[in-house]
Amino acid sequence: MVSAPQPLPKRPQAPATTRWPERDDPRDNVLVVTRGHPFVRDPFFEIFESNPNIQWSSVEHPAAQLMFTPKVAQAFDCLVLYDMPGIVFNRGSAPTFFDPPESFKSGLLGMLDAGVPLVVMHHACAAWPNWTLWAEIVGGHFLYQPGTSRGVSVPDSGYVIDVEHTVSPVGAHPISEGIEPFVLTDELYLAHVFEDSVTPLFRSDFDFVDTNFYSAAAALEGKLNHREGWQHPPGSNIVGWVKSYLNSPIVYLQFGDGPATYRNQTFRQILANAISWAASEEAASWARDQQ
């Protein structure tokens, strides 16, 4: 059984920096950011529509980039990122990567300095591949092509779709409170998790070795589910964590590939818990204390 934790005290409203009206609604105000990776829209958005503790809006790239400023973002209690900008996929050949605009970089860092919380989902860890600071913000690095991570040459990352695996909570945290080990069918990544920079929330019983995954670079060349000649060091089985960056609490959940996951009630509870915690004063205080 999944039991919801008691609501956490809300993060105090930021000083009035926008022209948005005062809000009397006690629900957390959430902005959901998408585009850059395909997904099944209606079942995904229904996750948020069915959550009675939030009000939510959605925005897509490139318009979303206008929202990544302290003035705009502080009107929200939490941003949920399910996007993957910075990549143009080319059929049968390597993708084209491009840098985020300087205005986006400075706006995002300003948001994080102001303490705006982020809940980063699934493929959003692979956003902005040309801007390695994004991996440091998230706490993990997925590479579509061989490259460098923290100054070390590394192969492209791995993926495997529709894996049935058991997810178990690690330690005590408001996000994992009331969550028992559960079975999930989802896509998993063999990528770099910066274990020295994150606090684990959930681990998988899957074996994160290259013989269980496929090459991301090969997939982009049209070779789906291909691993011949590809090698990758064993990876971490952490599939959910918290960390901070500047003054912001950051949650990453690897869950979320498609409708099978969207329908999973334990996944929904974890995501609801993540939003509630990220938007709370407890999370804001914790992030400030990490400095």
CATH (domain of 237): 3.40.50.880
**Domain for residue 17, yes or no?**
no
* Per-run averaged pLDDT (10 residues), the chain, 291 residues: 49 42 80 96 97 97 95 95 93 85 97 97 96 97 95 97 97 95 98 97 98 95 94 98 98 97 97 98 96 79
Q: What is the pLDDT of residue 104?
A: 96
Could you count the other beta carbons within 10 Å of the beta carbon of residue 17?
14
Domain of residue 245: give its range: 28-289
**Domain for residue 119, yes or no?**
yes
Q: What is the pLDDT of residue 7?
A: 52
**Residue tagged 């705006």 (tokens):** 116
Instruction: Report the SS3 class of residue 94.
Output: coil
The rounded distance, in Å, linking the Cα atoms of 65 and 196 is: 30
pTM summary value: 0.92
By the 10 Å C-beta count (0-12 exposed, 13-18 middle, 19+ buried), 229 is classed as exposed
**Domain for residue 12, yes or no?**
no
Beta strands in 151-266 (DSSP E): 152-154, 158-169, 182-190, 192-193, 199-204, 214-215, 238-245, 248-253
The rounded distance, in Å, linking the Cα atoms of 72 and 79 is: 11
Range 102-106, long-range pairs (CB < 8 A, 24+ positions):
103/65, 104/65, 104/68, 105/131, 105/133
188 in Cβ contact with 206 (< 8 Å): yes
**Domain for residue 230, yes or no?**
yes
**Domain for residue 54, yes or no?**
yes
**Domain for residue 1, yes or no?**
no
By the 10 Å C-beta count (0-12 exposed, 13-18 middle, 19+ buried), 196 is classed as exposed
**Domain for residue 202, yes or no?**
yes
Domain count, the chain: 1
Q: What is the pLDDT of residue 9?
A: 56
How is residue 272 annotated by DSSP? Answer: H
**Domain for residue 265, yes or no?**
yes
